[in-house]
Amino acid sequence: MTRGAPRRILLVDADAFFVAVARLVDPEGAGRAERLIVGGAADGRGVVCSASYAVRRFGVRSGMPVRQAVRRCPDALCVPVPRAACAAKSREIAAVLARWAPVVQPSSIDEWYLDLGGTEALYAEPLAATAARIRDAVRAATGLGVSIGAGTSRLVAKVAVEVAKPGAGGSGVHAVAPGEEAEFLLRFDLPALPFVGPKLAARLARLGLRTVADARALSEEALGGLLGERTGRWLWRWVRGLDDAPVAPRAEAKSVSREETFAQDVHDDAALERELLRLAGRVGADLRGDGLRARTVTVKLRDADFVTRQAARTLPAPIEGDRAIAEVAGALLARLRRARRVPVRLVGIALSHFGEAAPPAQLALFDAAASGGAAADAAPAAVETERDRRLAHTLDAIRGRFGREAIGPAALLAPAASPPPRPGGPGRPGHAGRPPRAAGSEPGGRVPGSDDAG
C-alpha cells in the first residue's frame, strides 16, 4: 500500500453459518426445513446457536434458550450443532480467503477480517468488485454464502457487513468509499456500533444519546464530561468512523475443548464417566487433527446450582491418544466428585500446553507390544505409549472413512443411566474460532476443592 493511501479492509461474515452447515450435513432433514433452529432439541435445555431467517422473523435470536425459541416458533426443526463439520467448513473458508488477501484475521468461527493493502495494482478494480469476486470464490469452493463489508477500517467494515446481509435486504457486498465513513454511520443507532454493548447503550440512552447523530452533536469535551475523558474521546472518534486498529493474524489457539450440557441433571457417576469418555475421544480427534499433543488436561463441571468447578493436571510429557486423555480426565472427574457430590448440568474437557506431534507410524495389528514382548513400551510408568498414539491415528482414519460411530470404546455401548446430553450452546468446535458464547454464559463460581492442580 502506498504511503497515505486509504486502507482496504473487508469483513467476511458467513451467512447463517451454523444453519447452512447443518443443512449441508443433513440435506434430507435440516436441508428441507425452512424453519430451522441449530443448538439443541426442542425439549432440551440448550441455547440457540443460530436460526434460519424464517425463524428469526419470530424473534428467535442466538443465545436464547431453545425452549423459549420453540414457544415462539413451534413448527421449527431443532438440531444439534454439527461441531466437526462447522470447524471443517470454517477452515475451508479461511483457506479461500488466504488466497486473496495478504493478511487474514479470524474474528470468530464464521467471521474474518482481511487487509487488502498493497493489492491495488494486483486487482486493479474497485474494492467492492474484489469483494464480490471473493464472495463468489467462497461459494464455489465451500458451497456456503458469505456477506462482505468493505471500508477503510475494521469498524466501518463491521457495520457495513450488516447492511450487506441477505436478512437485511442486502446484495451480499456493501462498500463504504473513503471519505464517506462519517456520513454512512449517521443512519445507525449507537448499539449498532461494535463495542457499544447493552450496558453502555443503556448509559448513553439515559443521557439522551440513542443514535450516532445524537453523539455527533456533542463535542469531544462534552462527551468526556458525560462519560469520562477516555470513554468520551473514544466515542467521539467512533461515531465518526475513526478506527486505526490493525488487521493481524490471530495467535495460535492455546487450548482445544469439548463440553456437553445434559438434558436433565445427572448424579450417576457411571453416566458422567461415559460422557467424559465420549468427550475424550472427540477432543483427542481435534488435537490430532491439528498435529498437536498436549501436556495439560482440564475437566470442568457445572453443577445443577450453576456452580462451575474445574481441576487440571499437567503431565511431564505431552499426550494425544484417547486412552491417556480419558485416563487423566477420569481421575480429575473423581477428584471433583469427591469434593462435591451433587447433580451435574455440564461436563467438559480442555487440552492445553501444546507441542508438535511426530508423524504416526503404521500400526501392526499383532506386534510384540500386543503380546507383552520386547517391543512393549520401555517405560511402564509413562501415561501414554507409542502404541496408544498409533492406535488413535488408526481409529481416526477408520472414522474418517466410515463415520464417527463406526468404532469406539465398548464402554460407550452401556445403557445410559440418564438421558443423553445435548449441546449446551454453540460452544467452540476445536479451536477454529469463536462462535457465540452461550455455552459458557451461565453464572458460576468456585467452591473449596475445585482448584487446579499441577
Strand order in the sheet with 292-303: 308-319, 292-303, 344-356, 255-266, 421-422
Q: Where are the beta strands (DSSP E) in 15-51?
A: 36-38, 50-51
DSSP annotation of 288 reads: H
- How many Cα atoms are found within 13 Å in the side-chain-facing hemisphere of 276? 28
In angstroms, what CA-CA distances link 360 with 389, 390, 430?
7, 6, 21
Neighbours of 126 (CB within 10 A): 12
In angstroms, what CA-CA distances link 276 with 235, 255, 334?
46, 17, 11
Q: What would the DSSP string read from start to end of 142-154?
A: HS--EEEEEESSH
DSSP annotation of 261 reads: E
Q: Would you say 85 and 21 are in contact if contact means Cβ atoms under 8 Å apart?
A: yes
How far apart are the C-alpha atoms of 180 and 425, rounded to whole Å?
Answer: 39
Max CA pair span of the chain: 82
DSSP annotation of 189 reads: B
Active site residue 111: yes
Residues 6+ apart with CB under 8 A from 28: none
C-alpha cell of residue 335:
477428584
Which listed residue (28, 92, 111, 275) is catalytic? 111
How far does the chain reach from its first CA to its final CA, in angstroms? 49
Give the active site residues: 111
